[in-house]
Each structure stands twice: as C-alpha cells, then as structure tokens.
Structure 1
Amino acid sequence: MTYTDSEAPPHSFTPGSIRAAWSYRAFRTVWTGQALSQTGTWMQNVALPAYVQWRWHSGTLVGAMVFAQLGPLLLLSIPGSILANKAPRKPWLLIMPTVQMFTAIGLAWFVHANAGFGVLFAATAAMGTANALNAPAFQSSIPMLVHRRDLAGAISLNTAQLNGTRVLGPLIVGLMTLLHVTVSQMLLINGVTFLFVVAAIARIDIPVARAQMDAGWRQLTQGIRIARSRPTLSRLLLSMTIFSLLSLPFVGLFPTIAEKAMNMQSRSPAYSWLYAAFGFGALLGGLSVGSVFARIDKRRIIPPAFIGFAVFLFLFGQLRSAPLSYPVGFALGMFYFMLATAMNTEFQQHMEHSERVLLMALWFMAFGGMVPIGNIVFGPIMDHIGPRWVLAAGALASLALAWWCDLLRMERRGAQRATS
C-alpha cells in the first residue's frame, strides 16, 4: 500500500529511524530479497573488473567494462522512467531482473570460454540495460512501502544494504579465490541470486503513484523541468553529477589503482580484503545517517562529508604500500556513503510520490550514469601517469563542492535576496 500523511501506522520508534522503517513487513521482504541479490551483484562487481585487469592489464578496458555496466543508467534512465510510468508496475519489476539473471548466466559462460573483450562488453551492457530500465520503477516504488515520516530510515537501510553487500560480496570472492573457485563460477552464482529479488517482489503488493505526463517529446524533459523549478533539487543533482564525474572514477578503477599504486594483484585475496574494508566503511557511513545522525538536519551533514571524503581520497592516492590502504580505504568509504545517503535523503524529501519515478531517473543519471564517463576519461590517464594526480584532482573537486552544495547557506542567501 501507499502511505499518506493521514495513514501513518503506529509504532514506538523514532520517526525516520532505521527501526521505524524496519517495522514495515513489505519493506522488510523486498529489502531482504534485494540484499541477497545485491550480494551476487557485488561478487560480479569485484570479480569481473579484476578479471579484466588481470587478463588485459589495462585501466582503459576496466573503465570500458564499468561503462558497459553503468553507462545505460545515463542513457536510458529517462526512457525507463517513462516506460515504468505507463507499464503495469509489478510485471515490469519481475521481468527486468529475470532478464538480468539470464544475461548474467550468459556472461559466466563467455568468461568460462575465454571470449574476447567485445563479447564480455556486450553481455555486460545487456545486463546494464535491463538494470537501467528497472531502476526508476524499483526505486520509485520501494520508498512508498513506508510512510513519508520514516523515509530517512528506509533510505539509510537501503544504503546499508548496498554497502553491506559491498562488504560481503568481496569477502566471498576472497574466500572463493582461496578455494580456487573460478571467475565464471562466481558470475554464475550472481545470476542465480536474482531469483531472490524476483521472489520477494512476487510476494507483496507494489504501490504505484503515476505521474501526469506531458504530451509527446516533452515527456523526456518533464523531470528536468520539475528539478529546475526547485533550487534544492537542482543543486543536489548538479553537485552529484560533478562529484560522480570528477571524484568517483576510483570506484570503477579500483583494481587499476591497487595494482599500479600499491603493487596489489587484482585477483589476490588481499585485493578483496581491501575492497571489503572500503565497503565496510561505506556501510557504517550510510547507517550513521539513519541512526547516529537520525535527528540531525541532513543539510548539515553534506559539507563536512564532502571535506572528509576529499581528505581521504587524497591520502588514498598517495599510498604506496598495502597495510595503510585498509584504514584509509575504510575511512574513504565511510565519508563517501555518509555523503551519498545524506544527499539522497534530502533529495527524496523534496518530491511528491507521483514525481518520484521521473526525479529518481535523474538521480540515477547523476550518481550512477556519470561514474562510467569518469572511468572512460580517467582510465587512460591512469594508464599513462598513474592514479596519484587523478585522485588529487577528485579531492579538489570534492572540496569545492563542500562550499557549493552547502544548502543552508544557499537558502539563507535566497532569503536575503527575497527581502532586499
């Protein structure tokens, strides 16, 4: 069901907290199924780029593979939001992960057969396309499983899910590597895990709040017009776009950085532990927004999180030995998802349910879609000059955004202009 302000279900927890969001049965069901599926996804996210780096020793090709996975979010999120707004929602949410499941199984077979890079790229792009078409529908429906007062807790839990699986997936890959499990077998396991989210969606009623769409081609820019009319939304979207492009290339190029800067082989257990340390920090950073900082205005969290991220991104780029990479990677992950969760929470608090499918498509373009562009741009640069200066430039961009995305300062200036 979709909750309105007059239908807030009774519970004894702090509104907007993690425990409040967890009290909704339908939300728990989907969260659990998605968590199991995301564990497989993060196994692939670690194993496949590491495999590409090991086989071709090229940051350029690693960046291209990440583009195949995430690039469709940039290109197809808006068309996906329009289709999701028109199509029967529950069948759509069942079909798309099923497509991802079969393409994941196909990708596992291609890796097993030592197929060329072009074949692997095409299979990964097919998975990315299904994900891009599914994401606006999924992410616009799931927040409606909780009341708006508890939305911050739901977003924090979803972030915890993303980053908990970001820890668990690499740990499983590391253990499987020690047990001589092949990359193709890991990718096959990922394909099977899509069954968990399909089963979860099949068990619940999916809430739908459809947007009133404009006619013709104006549908493609309707979400953009809504965002432009609200300064907070537009500032958050532009900030995340710049941040993803300039500061987040390290996420997709992680195996290249580990190999070139720290002399850490991308298919070694040590690399998996490093990625798990980064993911564990991200898990705690995301959880903190809905627990430790549950009562704090999320606008106050954003500038300090940008600064903390900048400091540890710069330090991460300067490392030349493995031991220090673990605590620095942990802190980097913590500030990364403390920031992303605070921004996402503030973004979703400024929209109506009927607008969610259109505006979340823009968020995916900014957060997910721009990362592979950064990988395509900075992957060849890392191949030529190494990661140090690339990460330093990303740190400078994050420092600038700490000032530019200070929403409270922006609102004070707007109020001053209005009264002058």
Structure 2
Amino acid sequence: MLLPMSVTDALATSSPMHALARLGRLRWGALLLALLMLAACAVAGVALPWLGVLQALLTLALVNGVLEWGARRGQPPQRLVRVGLLADVVVLSELLVLTGGAANPMATLYLLPVLFAALLVPGGGFAWLLAGLAASLYGLLFFWHLPWPTAGGDAAYAFSLHLGGMWLTFAVSAFLLAGFVSRLAQQLAEERAALASAREALLRDEQLVALGVQAAAAAHALSTPLNTLTLLVDEWDPAAPAPEQAADLNVMRTQLATCRTALSRLKEGAETEARPAGLHGLLQLRLAAWRALRPEVALETTLPAGEGPAVSVPPAFWPAFYNLLNNAAEAAGTAPVVVDAAWQAGWLTLDITNTHGSFDPARLARAGLTPLESSKPAGLGLGVLLTHATLSRLGGHLALVNRPEGGVVARVRLPLPERRQE
C-alpha cells in the first residue's frame, strides 16, 4: 500500500472480511493518488523509469483485483489480508528501487503495512515477519537502486523534490498516528462503557435470579397453608358467628382469594406466550381486575374506544404493570392515579401518573437500576427494579419524570406488533 486514504476506516471493524474490504479500498485509493503524482512528475519533467513504475502499479492493481475475486469465491479472508500486505511491501520496494532507494523519503511508508498487520491480523507472528521483511528490503535499498530522479539534471530541483517528499512523509505519519491513536482511544472508551454496562446487567440479573428463587420457594411454601385456610373458612358456618365476626369472616375470604390470585399471577408470569387479543379491551379488563383489588384508590383512565389492535401481550408484562400501579397508588395517597394509553406503529405507550410527591434527580437516575428504600410518597423500591428489568427483557423501557405541577409520571414503552387473531 502506497498511501493511506482513510486510516480510521481501516479499524472500523475487527471482522476479517470487513478488514479485507477496507484494505482493498485503501489500496485502490493509493493507486489513484500514485497515478496523480506520476502525472504531476510528467508535467514537471522529472526523469523517471516510466515503464518500470507503471509495471509496479499495474502489478499491485492486479493483486488487489485477484484478492477481491478470491473473497467473492469464499477464500479465507485472513489469508487474503496477509497476501495483500506482502504485496504492498514488495511493490513499495520495487518503486523505491526505481526512484532513489533509501534516499527516497517515501521509504518510511514501509511502516503502513506493518502497522496494519499488527492491528488487523490476529497473533504477532505475521506482523513480526512482515516487519523483518520490510527492514531487510529497506537495508538493501542502500546498495541496490537507481539514481534519485531529477528534472533535466537540476540538482537544486532534485533537492527540493527530496524536501517535498520529506514533508509529505511527515504529514502522512502525523495523520496516521492521530487517526490510529484517536480511534484506539475511542474503541477503548467504548469497551470500558460496554464492560461497565455488562457488569451492571449481570448484577441486576443476579438479583433477579435470587428473587425468582425466593419467589418460587415462597409460592411453594404458601400454597399448602393457603389451601388449608381456604378449606377451614369455607367450612365455617356463616350463621354461627356474631354479625361482626361474620364481617371479619368475609374479609378473610377476600384476603385469601387475593393471596391465591397473587400466586396465580406468579405462575402466569412464568409463561412466555399469549394469544392475540384486542389491546384496548385487554387493558380495560386488567385495570378492572386491579381496581377490584384496590377499591380504595381513585383510578382515572384514558383509553381509546373499541377493542383496539390485536396484539400478543407477554404475560410477564402484567406483573410489571401492576407494580407501577401499586407504586403510584401508594405514592398518591388520596389523590387519583391517572392511566393514559396509546398504541402507534407497533408500540404501546402507557403513562401512569400520580399527582403527589416528586423525586430528586439522584433517585430518578438510580430508579430501576438498584433497589431503593421506599419512603412514600417519594420513594421507589424493589418493584420498579423488577419492572425495569422485565421491560428491558421484553424490548421496552421505563422512564420516570417529575411533573412541573407536582407528581411523577411513569412512562412505559413496549413493542407490540399487530397480529392476526386466531
């Protein structure tokens, strides 16, 4: 390769096939630039062995074309990258032999294929081999080369040409270092950010796994006593106790039913498939079920009319939805909880608003990432962590925003493509 046309593109990806393609484009660009330089030399009357120089450039063009053909035929890209870099060193040596040898300042361009080999070819063996070859050929240029090209035998012009070549070599080296170092620094920063995100996700997943194990154990431990208490309450003669005791008995039945419903929802959340159903009707049904469990909460809903588009809502979404409703209800106190829903372009948007309390920026930034101590009405606990993780797993996301007039909006976005009902 004679000159780099886009240094940062050479490292845009670590894929061998992409690296081969980018090296090929760099090589075509370098050949075009070399032809422009030859045209300038011809206009200036610089004496060059034109036949030999054109033969070297044609050889590199043929090699590049063969490499692209081999890539299309399924040849191993790493092997093609090595062949191309070897050709770069050999052709550059031939050009230097014809144009002054080691006195040609462009000899420092030997560094380019060596650098690309170190960055793009796994393992250090080939890079060291290429570096040794380049150093050996550079040493031979001191003894085996044609004279430095001149323009009509003008030594002063030849010296100015040498100085111009030194400047061009310095410019290429400076841009090369700036491009590579900045790109590598950017990649390092991206890898660090990705590593931090992976650690955070791993910690959250470990917490969720621990919670899941505890929930399964609790469900198993509670099922037997709940069934026993339900049988005892059902066998209790409602006429036997006093009126105030009969009211307590009804409360017991209601609470036991609530416990059984909670266990059923826990089992339902483990399911992964759901049949397509009208979204608006499904939301109304779920909100009515939640309202029956929390009759003391003032709930205001804004739902579109009709059944709505047919979608398959993952069962795991509903516990997350109820978590947000319960948080809003507990934070709102006597104020109403407002639920707005909209579906557009395959996305469900739910705004769950409580009009009381707010969160400081630090707590908003942590909400959903780590369990927080709940201090109603301005506290978020484990429920939001579970909701955040569930929505992330389903491809959605949760955003918490303080309202200027007071209160907090929990905005849920969930992908729900429309499906055909069976």
TM-score exceeds 0.5? no
Structure with a larger share of its residues in helix: 1
Structure with a larger share of its residues in strand: 2
TM-score by length of 2: 0.21
- In terms of Rg, which structure is larger? 2
* Larger RCO, structure (CA 8 Å, separation 6 or more): 1
